[in-house]
Chains A and B, each alone.
Chain A
């Protein structure tokens, strides 16, 4: 099923998702399955460093397949998030569409320090 034409959609649902980056491996933040018939408009993606004393690096990738498959194109790469700080990687001035069979992934420089909140519209 193809992604919907967004001038003629039937449903727009606001959603949010959270991911705790408990390892330094790439972790799926948001995935749009192949043939979902949906497109996700990602309005914001915020990375918070919950460690109170040490900065941690974050890399956010736009993956060419769902479930962080295929090739990653970095939106930000090893950007340092200071202790007790949050970094706005995506906001409404730089939103992106996540089409079918695409995903967003996050890679932390340190385990258990970074948490990601993504807010998006599921359009079908």
Chain B
């Protein structure tokens, strides 16, 4: 039905803007005030705002010197270098402050588990084509505190394993990325543990390290993502990497940073690598810019980007980093500077629409 607007114009029914990308639809006639309102909600299509396919999700930031939760999702283009740009938001009230990255991704959708605030088992998602604010996807399997869960994904499935600092869960669950709904049982890891780091080739997923049974572990498990079942022993990390981060392309798994003892004294700058197709142990790849834990990792087919983290988690004045750094997967060596996050952040998640295994 037609409606009379302040400018005495009769217009067709307006379509709610779908998102801030320049291709977003917003048919109709809008006043400047309305445009500004939608812009404030990050839903007004912006000319030149094309999606760049690696995103960094929420995390822990300093607000007036005190640790607090971030709800922002920022984006970078992994094939170039540069600072992150604001893109979207997670749902206010939820959190990703889990000390391990928990994101999965297909080429069209990022999905992450919300781990350390009630209801603990929530899963959220956002479609790369839209932006705006994330939406509910479903629930992780069972209802325990998934803090320390590890995550990986193929182009079709997302998997989470372990978690729960109190009870060391021996659960692997999975979702079909394209269909919202609750996670289903996949199988069990070889050792019940938490603080695992996940990454995958197109067919094989690795869950690396973790802590369980009172031990800091170098254990690496693998699963065949398309087939449910228990994980199988793959090999060992070069060094324990609690609160480290990892990602992969179709060939190579990369793990960076973390802590060998879970504390500040054990934080390392080591980057370790392993060919995914053959079982065995990780070897040295290079170094991060400095020893870090609580960072995130995301990949393209050629690069792994590490972002954020902290050098001293137990300190009340722990410095959080805004550094984004990257390695070229095919060439072992030290990480080099990529750009900056929107703000210093630790315990953030990441996802990539051009994840190296897609």
Contacts and interface: CB of A to CB of B under 8 A. Distances in A.
Chain B facing A: main interface SS: loop
Interface residues of A, number: 27
B7 A44 contact: yes
B29 A46 contact: yes
Contacts of A91: 5-8, 31
A110 interface: yes
Interface stretch (B44-52, B201-209, B235-243): B44-52
B45 A82 contact: yes
Contact of A84 (B25, B32, B47): B25
Interface in A45-102: 46, 53-57, 76, 78-93
A82 B17 contact: yes
B135 interface: no
A43 interface: yes
A88 B36 CA distance: 12
Given A76-B32, A85-B28, 6 more contacts: A43-B8, A44-B7, A44-B9, A56-B47, A88-B7, A88-B31
A109 interface: yes
A28 to B, nearest CB: 21
Interface residues on B, range: 20 to 34
A83 B32 CA distance: 16
A119 to B, nearest CB: 8
A93 B8 contact: no
Contacts of A76: 32
Interface string B34-64: 0100010000111111000000000000000
Nearest 9 CB-CB pairings of A with B: A91-B7, A82-B26, A82-B45, A44-B7, A86-B29, A55-B45, A55-B22, A91-B6, A84-B27
